[in-house]
């Protein structure tokens, strides 16, 4: 070839490479994003507990978008969401805290924040992530953007360092949690910045094992493993005065191991009543939401695990402990009668309603699927295959307190 | 130049143009998208009532992203959001229904659906958009994706065709609305598909002028212009039995023109009480949410227009009619005392809380700005300039009933 021709061919090769790169980059992104630009309000994740992975799904189209792997031990995992609903923060059992990018289907950041952890929360302004730890105990708080450590709150009491449980986010950049060993509840208030003011309430009761905060952020309720009853703290009161309620609660026919105790997050506020899984009994209790007095019971199929209210509060869906864990029952909160019952499959672990309650998503661990039901007709609307699915978390949780 | 050199220079020019086009297209998109891929859960819009435009904003960064123009007469506009929180549906006074793409900052679709319209709603599954019309009256229902007409529901009664008002979305693909001329409330049930089953309730009262549905979708409450009191329908009851409540409600010192009547959307459910702007009086009424009996009153600065509860229900923020419309008062719902008062500026028209209540956004029409406040300290956090702003709507509304 002549020199100009060589130059020409060389330049063409360079330009072709540049163009191919530009085009393939855009195609790659387009393919990766599955659908191009999209809203994130209808996204969600499914925890695959056995494989340390999560599925990102589109709840409108009822289909899986991505599998994201490498999240460690997810055997008792939970998740919260950024206020733009782009990121999920997944709290693993092994102390891993993973920030998952729902749009990219990838891990944005990940830190091993402790040796053994259970549950987490996000502040009402979306800037702080808190994780509750068994080992070394205490609570650690991270910057939601970077996952850099903001504050370390060791749970030191007269007996040493305590495991912490029942961590929730209260309005006003506050986190509330309880000390299993100490029987205390602490409130860490970050209103002033990154150094919390910590209020400590003693005498909560022996071995608080789980807790919840009501949807309005007013009442913190801790379940006790070491004695009967629960403790409620009205966060609107001043001074704070923990109060024992439901003194009968906890007296089952036989003492349950702690891992069989019902989840308190499963407390359903249905109208002006809570529906509450009984401990060691095949019953759902009804509790007046103003007085916290028991006002009735409904006999159910087995030991209830979750009692979840449809967002309008008219129905409560209940799942059960082994060996009755293939069944769902639906209770009408108006009549307190069971209005539907069916068997989605082996090991029904979790129930998540769409935010306005038109569908319920049910994880069937040993069926390796999430089944999707019309929340009014109970007709099956869809199905997503998943490996040993446990928790289902919709990004719409970003906008709620107490989830 | 030699032929090869000419060819070379020609090819370079062509490639340069191609590359420039590819690059400028991506830059254009990047610029247009402001930040590249992003979540949509923290987006929102501000209605610019005088100019027929809306501002799309990022509530986390407290900044305007786009101005979208060409939405027609927005003098009494409202908006609902798609369940993926990508699109806002804006209902204009002139019958225009505009679907705004929050990610692109552009109009996705627009139809003139009637001659004169007031308010709209979106079904709980996010597939149907309904608009309430003065002229020609009745309600029209559209496909949320395409804005194609799905159903036309003329409001025909013995007296002819009625204006419709108080249109809301109830759970189960239902729309509820009232007939100003007929004094009736109709429920259009789309559970079976695109042909609604319409239930008509007569005897609601003379000239219902506005209505609301409670956040759980259970109670529909219509305000009456032609007589005192309000009418509540418990949608859980069967058969449905409209009931008159608050017989004193509406007896102001002087009869107000209809455009000065308080907005019922402003009813705030604060704990187990509603806070309700009195008609023709400088008072906020407290109403028991179980019995609908009045349980107290708080004297306020002027004729209240909106009484909006912070999402935790602890505080209610109130704005006022002319000439007191430069002021905000904050009432503590526990003590019913006024705990803060200030003047954001001339013509405070609307208050929108972030979904978990850490901030309140306040439109100051004649100050040409939206002022952003910490919802606990009342400290000013930011400001967005806007042309005669009226309604502020956060995409988080997508996940709620009754907004």
Beta bridge mates, B353: B360
Hey, what are A97's tokens? 């805290």
Measuring CA to CA, how many Å separate A39 from each of A66, B50, B118, B136, B401?
16, 29, 27, 35, 20
Burial B242-258 (b: 16+ CB within 10 A, else e): bebbbeebbebeeebee
Query: Å from A338 to nearest chain B CA?
Result: 17
pLDDT confidence tier of residue B29, bands split at 50, 70 and 90: very low
Q: Which of A30, A37, A87 to mutate against chain B (most B CBs within 10 Å)?
A: A37
Identify whether the C-beta of residue B150 lies closer than 8 Å to the C-beta of residue B131. no
The whole-angstrom separation of Cα A312 and Cα A277 is 19
Q: In the Cβ-directed half-sphere of A119, how many Cα atoms lie within 13 Å?
A: 25
Which of A34-38, A366-370, B68-72, B98-102 bottoms out in mean pLDDT, i.e. has the lowest?
Answer: A34-38
Identify whether the C-beta of residue A215 lies closer than 8 Å to the C-beta of residue A274. no
Average pLDDT of span B27-43? 66
**Nearest one of A123, A32, A114, A41 to A72, comparing CA atoms:** A114
Q: Where are the beta strands (DSSP E) in A265-347?
A: 268-270, 273-277, 283-288, 294-299, 304-309, 315-320, 328-332, 338-342
Query: Å from B235 to nearest chain A CA?
Result: 11
pTM of the model: 0.90
Burial A320-351 (b: 16+ CB within 10 A, else e): beeebbbbbbbbbbeebebeeeeebbebbbbb
Q: What is the predicted pLDDT for the residue at B251?
A: 61
Contact A84 B15 (CB under 8 A): no
> Can you count the helices (H) and strands (E) in chain B?
1, 34
Contact B102 A39 (CB under 8 A): yes
pLDDT over 70 (residue B1): no
B5 touching A (Cβ < 8 Å): yes
Of B11, B15, B41, the CB nearest to A84: B41
B276 touching A (Cβ < 8 Å): no
Complex ipTM: 0.90
Backbone dihedral angles phi then psi of residue A336, each to the nearest 5 degrees: 60, 20
Residue partners of B16: CB distance under 8 A and separation at least 6:
none
Query: Å from A353 to nearest chain B CA?
Result: 11
What chain B residue is nearest to A11 in terms of C-alpha separation?
A: B12
pLDDT confidence tier of residue B354, bands split at 50, 70 and 90: very high
Spacing of C-alpha A347 from chain mean position: 19
Contact B171 A312 (CB under 8 A): yes
A314 touching B (Cβ < 8 Å): yes
What chain A residue is nearest to B218 in terms of C-alpha separation?
A: A312
* pLDDT tens per residue across span B261-280: 777 776 777 778 889 888 88
pLDDT over 90 (residue B79): yes
CA dihedral B161, B163, B167, B172 (to 10 degrees): 0
Average pLDDT of span B382-390? 98
Ranges of residues in chain A whose predicted pLDDT is under 50: 1, 11-34
pLDDT over 80 (residue B23): no
Q: At what angle do helices A3-32 and B3-33 cross, to 10 degrees?
A: 20
pLDDT confidence tier of residue B94, bands split at 50, 70 and 90: very high
Contact A171 B40 (CB under 8 A): no
Contact A356 B84 (CB under 8 A): no
pLDDT confidence tier of residue B35, bands split at 50, 70 and 90: low
Q: Which chain A residues in 148-177 lie under 8 Å from chain B, judged by CB atoms?
A: 171-173
pLDDT over 60 (residue B20): no
Residue partners of B153: CB distance under 8 A and separation at least 6:
B138, B139, B140, B141, B186, B188, B196, B198
B63 touching A (Cβ < 8 Å): no
The whole-angstrom separation of Cα B178 and Cα A73 is 54
Which of B10-19, B166-175, B378-387 bottoms out in mean pLDDT, i.e. has the lowest?
Answer: B10-19
Name the CA radius of gyration of chain B, rounded. Answer: 24
Q: What angle do CA B102, B306, B281 make, to 5 degrees?
A: 165
* pLDDT tens per residue across span B206-246: 999 999 999 899 999 999 998 889 999 999 999 999 999 99
Query: Å from B162 to nearest chain A CA?
Result: 30
* pLDDT tens per residue across span B168-204: 999 999 999 999 999 999 999 999 999 999 999 999 9
DSSP-derived secondary structure for B308-368: EE-TTSSEEEEEE-TTSTT-EEEEETTT--EEEEE---S-EEEEEE-TTSSEEEEEEGGGT
Q: What angle do CA A174, A177, A182 make, to 5 degrees?
A: 140
């Amino acid at each position: 070839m002549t020199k100009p021709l060589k130059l020409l061919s060389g330049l063409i090769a360079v330009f072709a490479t540049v163009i191919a790169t530009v085009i393939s980059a855009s195609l790659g992104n387009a393919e990766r994003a599955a659908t191009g630009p999209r809203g994130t309000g209808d996204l969600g994740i499914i925890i695959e507990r056995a494989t340390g992975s999560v599925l990102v799904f589109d709840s409108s189209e009822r289909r899986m978008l991505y599998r994201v792997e490498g999240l460690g031990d997810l055997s008792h995992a939970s998740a919260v969401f950024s206020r733009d609903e782009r990121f999920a923060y997944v709290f693993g059992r092994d102390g891993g805290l993973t920030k998952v990018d729902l749009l990219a289907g990838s891990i944005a950041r990940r830190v091993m924040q402790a040796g053994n952890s259970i549950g987490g929360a996000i502040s009402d302004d979306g800037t702080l992530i808190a994780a509750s730890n068994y080992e070394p105990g205490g609570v650690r708080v991270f910057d939601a953007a970077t996952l850099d450590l903001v504050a370390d709150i060791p749970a030191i009491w007269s007996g040493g360092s305590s495991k912490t449980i029942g961590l929730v986010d209260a309005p006003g950049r506050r986190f509330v949690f309880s000390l299993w060993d100490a029987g205390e509840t602490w409130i860490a208030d970050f209103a002033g910045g990154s150094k919390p003011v910590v209020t400590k309430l003693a005498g909560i009761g022996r071995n608080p094992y789980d807790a919840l905060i009501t949807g309005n952020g007013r009442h913190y309720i801790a379940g006790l493993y070491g004695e009967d009853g629960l403790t409620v703290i009205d966060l609107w009161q001043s001074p704070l005065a923990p109060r024992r309620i439901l003194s009968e609660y906890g007296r089952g026919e036989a003492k349950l191991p702690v891992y069989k105790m019902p989840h308190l997050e499963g407390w359903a506020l249905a109208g002006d009543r809570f529906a509450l899984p009984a401990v060691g009994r095949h019953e759902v209790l009804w509790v007046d939401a103003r007085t916290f007095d028991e006002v009735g019971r409904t006999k159910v199929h087995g030991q209830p695990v979750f009692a979840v209210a449809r967002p309008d509060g008219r129905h409560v869906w209940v799942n059960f402990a082994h060996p009755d864990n293939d069944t769902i029952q639906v209770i009408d909160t108006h009549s307190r009668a069971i209005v539907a019952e069916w068997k989605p499959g082996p090991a029904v672990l979790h129930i998540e309603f769409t935010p306005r309650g038109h569908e319920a998503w049910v994880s069937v661990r040993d069926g390796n699927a999430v089944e999707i039901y019309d929340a009014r007709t109970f007709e099956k609307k869809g199905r997503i295959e998943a490996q040993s699915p446990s928790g289902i978390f919709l990004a719409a949780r970003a906008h709620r307190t107490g989830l």
